[in-house]
Structure 1
């Protein structure tokens, strides 16, 4: 008969396959984690530099063709210099601003605006574009400086919006409540969206900045900024629970 003691495997003779399997799974998990970490580190900065390069290259392509050959640095260099067109555009805008700030410049601007005001279609486009730029670039403008929650598309469902100003003119005169202009962006493209006129009392103001709000919209809610309020305020629920479907239908 075989000796049971001799037949039992000793620690030296035990198979090592299960141990190698555990080691292999651990190595694969680590490699996967390193891969994801590498993507998280390199993807944002790579995409940012790529978009910046596309923008600079587009500006260079439009401007360098207008620069005379004797003033173009690429004429005397064996390689192209990125950013020359962008630099020329910035210098041009500075010179135009200096000229428009003077007496003769103001007269020329007023003369040009009076000519544009007589063109049926162009005057409307020019007036709208000018008003938008004056509102956005003004130092005292409150446009896109406040993030709010608004019930949209129905009660009980909330969406992120940005206050663009206080409603004035005919729209405010026709409404009994004081309403504000709220721009409701779409995901993942925040440049498109809806313009809503919402009563001021129906808005829930958020403490997050505009940049954090745009990040949340672009990411589709994947990037959620932390709540900057103290812990006591975080426990307060400013938004009441949604009414049941039957109550909403009765309303």
Structure 2
């Protein structure tokens, strides 16, 4: 009985979590329909709510935004919008901080998460997976040895974590991709790939 019950859990738990996550994403994106006038919404002319139409609208808006800003006129409109935001003190700080992160993560030539490293954290006898990021020049000038900036994500939510500066000689560079490392973190080590040799970082 116990074996059958566990087998059933192994089938339904991943499926249930997948459905829950998709429902959360679709429900969130469907909120974009609220931006439309009441008489333009699908409920008004279809007489019923169809889940997922907000996803289509969101994708269309994102695509059209990229299409418009790809030309000269769109670039000028974007510059005008950013200049307008730069005049609002609090909004300016939030907007440009988020913009720098998103540009680095989504652009093809970004410098986000250059390498996957092992660093000693949270104590000298323990190791944690970390991602090498950018070391600010003004910080490097005050450090007496070659340091690297690392982001140590938390498990199972890698969007949260800690940002540290550590000696490069005290890190180990791993020969794995950022995607693989994120899978390890999200799955808490349950999902893994065949072992690859680690490459020690040289000072």
Over the aligned positions, Cα root-mean-square deviation in angstroms equals 2.5
Match of residue 39 from structure 1: 9
User: How many aligned positions are there?
Assistant: 201
Structure 1, residues 85-135: CA drift from partner, whole Å, max 9, x if none? 111111111111122122222112212222222222221112111111111
Specify the structure having the higher radius of gyration (Cα). Answer: 1
The change in CA–CA distance for 1:86 and 1:184 in structure 2 (over 3 A counts) is same
CA separation of 1:208 and 1:44: change in aligned 2, threshold 3 A: farther
Offset at residue 188 of structure 1 (A): 2.9
Alpha-carbon distance, 1:224 to partner: 5.2
| Structure 1, gaps ≥5 residues long | 1-30, 240-251
Paired with 1:113 and 1:73, the residues of 2 have a C-alpha distance of 33
**Match of residue 91 from structure 2:** 122
* Match 2:145 to one of 158, 166, 177: 177
Misfit runs of 4+, over 4 Å: none
Where do 1:160-175 residues align within 5 Å?
160-163=129-132, 165-175=133-143
TM-score by length of 1: 0.71
3-state SS, counterpart of residue 130 of structure 2: strand
Higher relative contact order (CA 8 A, sep 6+): 2
CA distance in 2, matches of 1:150, 1:52: 34
